[in-house]
Structure 1
Amino acid sequence: MAGYFSIFLVLLTLGSGLIWLIDHLVYAPKRQARIALAQGATGAELDEETIAQIAPQPAIAETAQSIFPMIAAITIFRSFLYEPFQIPSGSMMPTLLVGDFILVEKFAYGVKDPVWRSQLMDVAEPERGDSVVFKYPLDKKIDFIKRVIGLPGDTVVYRNKQLYIKPQCAEGQSTAQGLNCGEFNKIDMQLQNQDEFYADGIGQARLTENLGNVTHDILINPARPEQKMGYYQQPSTRIDEWIVPTDNYFVMGDNRDNSKDGRFWGFVDKKDLVGKAVFIWMSFEFEQDPDSILPSWVPTGVRFERLGSIQ
Structure 2
Amino acid sequence: MDFALILFVLSIVSGVLWCYDVFSARKQRPKGAPDPWWVEYGASFFPVILPIFMLRSFWIEPFRIPSGSMIPTLLVGDFILVNKYSYGVRLPVLNKKIIAVSDPQRGDVMVFRYPHDTRQDYIKRVIGLPGDTLEYSNKRLKINGEVMAVHPAGDFLIPQTFDVFQKLEEDLGNGRKHMTLNNRDAQSLVREQAVVPHAYSGNCNYTASGVTCTVPAGHYFVMGDNRDQSADSRVWGFVPDENIVGRAFFVWFHADQILPVPSGVSFSRVGRFN
Same fold (TM over 0.5): yes
* Residue of structure 2 equivalent to 1:302: 265
- Residue 247 (structure 1) shift: 0.7
* Residue of structure 1 equivalent to 2:220: 249
| Alignment CA distance shift 1:104-1:200 (3 Å) | closer
Deviates more, 1:249-258 or 1:230-239: 230-239
- Supply the distance in 1 between the matched residues of 2:169 and 2:240 (Cα, whole angstroms): 28
- Residue 83 (structure 1) shift: 0.5
- Supply the distance in 2 between the matched residues of 1:308 and 1:201 (Cα, whole angstroms): 25
- Computing the radius of gyration from Cα coordinates, the structure with the larger value is 1
If the length of structure 1 is used for normalisation, what is the TM-score? 0.80
Aligned 8 A contact 2:252 2:267 in 1 = no
Matched position secondary structure for 2:71: coil
Aligned 8 A contact 1:232 1:262 in 2 = no
Aligned 8 A contact 1:249 1:268 in 2 = yes
* Residue of structure 1 equivalent to 2:22: 24
- Supply the distance in 1 between the matched residues of 2:92 and 2:217 (Cα, whole angstroms): 25
* Residue of structure 1 equivalent to 2:244: 273
Aligned 8 A contact 1:199 1:221 in 2 = no
- Supply the distance in 2 between the matched residues of 1:98 and 1:58 (Cα, whole angstroms): 46
Q: Give yes or no for the alignment of 1:95 onto 2:86.
A: no
| Alignment CA distance shift 1:30-1:80 (3 Å) | same
Amino acid at match of 1:59: W
Unaligned ranges ≥5, structure 1 = 36-50, 167-183, 287-294
- Supply the distance in 2 between the matched residues of 1:155 and 1:217 (Cα, whole angstroms): 22
Deviates more, 1:243-252 or 1:185-194: 185-194
- Supply the distance in 2 between the matched residues of 1:195 and 1:119 (Cα, whole angstroms): 39
Q: Deviations over 1:134-192 (max 9, x none)?
A: 010111110000000000000000000000001xxxxxxxxxxxxxxxxx111111111
* Aligned mate of 1:187, from 144, 148, 158: 148
* Aligned mate of 1:203, from 164, 169, 175: 164
- Supply the distance in 2 between the matched residues of 1:221 and 1:306 (Cα, whole angstroms): 24
The size of the alignment, in residue pairs, is: 264
Q: Give yes or no for the alignment of 1:136 onto 2:114.
A: yes
Amino acid at match of 2:83: E
- Residue 86 (structure 1) shift: 0.3
Deviates more, 1:155-164 or 1:296-305: 296-305
Matched position secondary structure for 2:227: coil
* Aligned mate of 2:49, from 66, 71, 75: 71
Amino acid at match of 2:263: T
The percent identity for this pair of structures is: 42
* Aligned mate of 2:184, from 222, 231, 240: 222
Q: Deviations over 1:250-274 (max 9, x none)?
A: 0000000000000001100001000
Q: Which has the higher contact order (CA 8 A, sep 6+)?
A: 2
Higher helix share: 1
Unaligned ranges ≥5, structure 2 = none
- Supply the distance in 2 between the matched residues of 1:122 and 1:273 (Cα, whole angstroms): 13
* Residue of structure 1 equivalent to 2:12: 14
Matched position secondary structure for 2:246: strand
Aligned 8 A contact 2:21 2:43 in 1 = no
- Residue 66 (structure 1) shift: 2.2
If the length of structure 2 is used for normalisation, what is the TM-score? 0.90
- Residue 29 (structure 1) shift: 1.5
Q: Deviations over 1:212-261 (max 9, x none)?
A: 22111011101111342234684265311000000100000000000000
Amino acid at match of 1:211: L
| Alignment CA distance shift 1:236-1:137 (3 Å) | closer
* Residue of structure 1 equivalent to 2:254: 283
